[in-house]
């Protein structure tokens, strides 16, 4: 049970990161590339262009699932 929650959290966080990066590519190609290269750049672009809350909300839900899965495994 804990392993599946952990893997689900990883998948959700990963998909939120990919979705945010695709949204950054819609802003400009440079912003999308910077999201891949510079950690945290996605947060800057998302905040500036108005898609911060959906991306970070889903990413945070994935992190919470990772924490719950890790705690249930220990």
Q: How far apart, in whole angstroms, are the C-alpha atoms of residue 25 and residue 32?
A: 4
- Please give the radius of gyration of the chain, using alpha carbons only, rounded to the nearest integer: 14
Q: pLDDT by residue (tens digit) across 15-57?
A: 998 998 899 999 999 999 998 898 889 889 989 998 888 889 9
pTM of the model: 0.82
Structural contact between residues 21 and 42, judged by C-beta atoms closer than 8 angstroms: yes
Query: How many Cβ atoms are within 10 Å of 12's Cβ, its own excluded?
Result: 19
Residues in the chain: 74
């Amino acid at each position: 049970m804990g392993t599946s929650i952990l893997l689900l959290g990883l998948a959700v966080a990963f998909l939120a990161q990919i979705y945010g990066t695709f949204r950054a590519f819609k802003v400009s190609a440079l912003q999308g590339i910077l999201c891949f290269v510079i950690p945290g750049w996605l947060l800057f672009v998302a905040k500036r262009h108005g898609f911060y809350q959906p991306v970070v909300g889903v990413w945070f839900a994935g992190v919470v699932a990772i924490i719950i899965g890790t705690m249930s495994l220990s």
